[in-house]
Amino acid sequence: MKTTLTDPRTGLARGTAPVSREPEVAGAVSAARAALPGWSALTPRERAGRLGLLAAAVEADAAEYAACERSGTGKPESEAVGEVAQVADLFRFYATAARTRTVPASGALVAGHESWVRWEPIGVVGVVVPWNYPLMMAAWRCAPALAGGNTVVVKPAETTPDSLLLLASHATAVLGEGVLQVLPGDRATGRLLVESGVDMVAFTGSPEAGRDVAARAGIRRVSLELGGNAPAIVLPDAPPETCAALAEAATYNAGQSCAAPARVITLAENYERVVALLGTAMAGRVAGRDFGPLNNADQAARYDRIVAASEAGRSVTGPLETAAGEEKGYWRPARVLVDLPPADPAITEEVFGPLLTVERVATVEEALARANSVPQALASSVWTTDLERGIDLASRLDAGEAWVNCHLVQTAELPHGGRGSSGHGTDLSVLALDEYQRPKTVTVRVGRP
């Protein structure tokens, strides 16, 4: 069984990919189970060495990885190249993190006994990742899982299997047979993987799909990252570069980032100035030059539905500069929607496109309440030159990640995770290792009873 792959830049078919079903899922999970004893028995140093080899393989074929990413997502070359470099860095980071992590207290905690804590792998981890960052989202999940001694089976999004199939070939060569496998396919493939004999599921996707995954996984461990709808509170004393920075962050990856700024909230005294500056900044972001298309026809239709349903009083759009043959691609211009009612769908839903809304409030406290008024709670930002106030507001924003005078600034050392309908669990940082390991307390009587 095959599925047709589409180039989002042109809207035209670009090839096919296999669709995995019960036999392929069962075979991959069985192979991962068989590989688990050997992989988990390696010392952290030995696993680190192999993960370092995988990072080197990604770097050696960086151009091919970037080409794979671009064919499935339409990203500009600069974005794809930068994300491939981040993937190599992630594998190296977790190779080291697994060797240096701390453990709870150990020693003679009970008279006549010695105790210590072992961190053990969960087992076989099923990973389901979306189409917005095919390779990088997989690395966020796979790197800590592998470093923790687990084996992994990954189901990429139906539209973007390319870079992960390449990663699987490199992983087989340097990690060993069955340690990291990729199952291309559709939603049914993902459900089959979740319902298979995996010991844990790590899922990145929509809240609706996340609830389905949690129900199918039952009592097994589940890590969920389920999207966002990030507010950006822009105060009257915001730095002069604020609107340009927000426009760049909102259009990176065509706005198809769970942590991208989406809802700009500002005070009445600063409202018209922010609207004007954001309009200018977003109009300066050119689709086809500065950012790519939406990923697929369904996402384009969803975006168009939300924009059409919006009751915005004003709209500012940027230009399109597409190449010959790209007229039928899923391109959408940068857009700012202004003068919206609080319940407007462009505010309450995660738009997932190159769009910013602007809301007006009377006070800083109202801005905070408006920022925290949606069920998603993944990321947020505050823009002010009063750092004391900025840090205070960041601490009161209900989000797993809060920035002051910046947005989308991330690194392997810092954790990323959601609250509310944005899910639970941790990506990035040494804390992510806890997602994929479980502690075992060992106590030995050494004294006489």
User: Would you give the DSSP letter of residue 24?
Assistant: H
* pLDDT tier for residue 104 given thresholds of 50, 70 and 90: confident
Main-chain dihedrals φ then ψ at residue 416, nearest 5 degrees: -135, 130
Question: Tens digit of pLDDT for each residue in 312-363?
Answer: 999 999 999 999 999 999 999 999 999 999 999 999 999 999 999 999 999 9
Q: CA-to-CA distance for 18 and 20, rounded, in angstroms?
A: 6
- Residues near 412 by Cβ (< 8 Å), separated by ≥ 6? 86, 89, 90, 93, 94, 428, 429
Sorted by sequence, the CB contacts under 8 Å of residue 406 that are 6+ apart come out as: 245, 381
In this predicted model, what pLDDT tens digit does every residue of 70-101 receive, in sequence order?
Answer: 999 999 999 999 999 999 999 999 999 988 87
Whether the Cβ atoms of residue 232 and residue 202 lie closer than 8 Å to each other: no
268 CB contacts (<8 Å, ≥6 apart)? Answer: 360, 361, 362
DSSP 73-94: H---HHHHHHHHHHHHHHHHHH
Strands 221-225 and 200-204: parallel
What pLDDT score does 32 carry?
A: 98
pTM over cut 0.75: yes
Active-site amino acid positions: 225, 258
Least confident range from 1-5, 31-35, 234-238: namely: 1-5
Give the residue among 320, 309, 250 at the shortest CA–CA distance from 282: 250
Categorize the per-residue pLDDT at 105 as very low, low, confident or very high, splitting at 50, 70 and 90: confident
